[in-house]
């Protein structure tokens, strides 16, 4: 029942943010925004409480594919809520909330009760940092795709009421860089804390995962350095971000797929 409530709250908030940006509802723009913001905030609160109760039972850790996707949806909703403070980003926030709503029901697709793994608080903290950082960078990839769509619309010079749903490209890029910087910091901490639990990268089948994660870390670092030092923007910055994200996906999912499906091994 709670998943349905969260889904409806996100969808209603998305509708409110959309109506706030459309010219035909300009006279009621402020009430639509306030109602949408309240619905989104309540949804984020319920989503977070339900999700963390599910994945952190007592001293254990219970994470399914559905819960991992729902965690990304929670981060997406939180960023949408914060982004909506800027009026020009409310159309993007609506799109993010629709995606978040799609992940809300996935919390139910978790492993059976009692399937949690007992971990020390240090390992639990490392796993959570890694998951939150990966989820944040996934949100960044979605924002990067928004930026590509905006750039294409600008080049096509189409003028429609839907244009109000898109923020200026520079604003979207600033949001992307902010997410990149936060995700980069989280990824740095995840790599550093992860190394403290590793005895032998080769023996534990983690060498490839570590190498790809480090490569992704370098790509994101180059992106941030290029942005702040050389002022990189536009397609160059967006494509570099997507390359870094693709490398990180390969580190986490590609390596796991190869180990489990081809070599019949697992990490650790």
134 and 242 within one domain: yes
Domain count for the chain = 2
132 and 97 within one domain: no
Residue numbers of the domain that contains 178 = 119-268
What pLDDT is stored for residue 108 in this prediction? 60
What pLDDT is stored for residue 159 in this prediction? 61
214 and 95 within one domain: no
> Nearest to residue 77, comparing CAs of 125, 135, 153, 30?
135
Backbone φ and ψ of 266, nearest 5°: -135, 165
Backbone φ and ψ of 260, nearest 5°: -80, -40
170 and 111 within one domain: no
Return the HEC string of 123-187: HHHHHHHHHHHHHHHHHHHHHHHHHHHHHHHHHHCCCCHHHHHCCCHHHHHHHHHHHHHHHHHHH
263 and 149 within one domain: yes
188 and 254 within one domain: yes
pTM of the model: 0.80
> Nearest to residue 39, comparing CAs of 22, 15, 61?
15
32 and 140 within one domain: no
256 and 132 within one domain: yes
Among residues 102, 118, 134, the one where a domain terminates is 118
Q: Which two tokens stand for residue 46?
A: 């319920």
167 and 208 within one domain: yes
Among residues 118, 146, 176, the one where a domain terminates is 118
Length of the chain in residues, anyone?
268
What pLDDT is stored for residue 135 in this prediction? 86
Among residues 76, 93, 118, the one where a domain terminates is 118
143 and 126 within one domain: yes
For each successive 10 residues of the chain (268 residues), what is the average pLDDT?
A: 88 95 87 96 94 76 77 92 92 92 75 53 77 88 87 70 75 91 93 72 59 90 92 86 90 57 46
Burial 198-223 (b: 16+ CB within 10 A, else e): eeeeeeebbebbbebbebbbebbeeb
176 and 161 within one domain: yes
147 and 92 within one domain: no
Quick: pLDDT tens for 125-166: 777 888 889 889 988 998 998 888 888 877 776 666 666 777
Q: Which two tokens stand for residue 248?
A: 């990180």
Q: Is 116 helix (H, G, I), strand (E, B) or coil?
A: coil
Quick: pLDDT tens for 231-259: 888 888 899 999 999 998 887 765 555 54
Percentage of residues in the chain with pLDDT exceeding 90? 38
């Amino acid at each position: 029942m709670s998943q349905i409530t969260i889904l409806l709250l996100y969808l209603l908030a998305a509708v409110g943010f959309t109506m706030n940006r459309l010219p035909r509802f300009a006279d009621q723009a402020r009430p639509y925004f306030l109602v949408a913001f309240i619905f989104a905030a309540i949804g984020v609160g319920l989503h977070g409480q339900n999700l963390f109760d599910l994945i952190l039972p007592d001293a254990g850790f219970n994470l399914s594919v559905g819960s991992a996707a729902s965690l990304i949806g929670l981060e997406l909703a939180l960023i949408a809520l914060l982004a909506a403070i800027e009026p020009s980003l409310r159309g993007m926030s609506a799109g993010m909330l629709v995606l978040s709503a799609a992940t809300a029901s996935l919390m139910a697709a978790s492993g059976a009760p009692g399937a949690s793994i007992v971990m020390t608080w240090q390992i639990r903290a490392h796993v959570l940092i890694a998951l939150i950082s990966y989820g944040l960078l996934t949100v960044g990839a979605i924002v990067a795709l928004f930026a590509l769509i905006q750039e294409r619309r600008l080049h096509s010079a189409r003028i429609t009421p839907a244009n109000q749903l898109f923020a200026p490209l520079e604003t979207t890029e600033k949001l992307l860089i902010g997410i990149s910087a936060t995700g980069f910091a989280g990824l740095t901490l995840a790599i550093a804390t992860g190394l403290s639990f590793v005895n032998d990268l080769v023996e534990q089948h983690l060498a490839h995962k570590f190498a790809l994660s480090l490569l992704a870390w370098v790509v994101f670092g180059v992106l941030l350095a290029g942005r702040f030092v050389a002022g990189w923007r536009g397609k160059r910055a967006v494509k570099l971000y997507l390359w870094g994200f693709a490398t990180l996906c390969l580190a986490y999912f590609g390596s796991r797929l190869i180990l489990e499906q081809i070599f019949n091994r697992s990490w650790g």
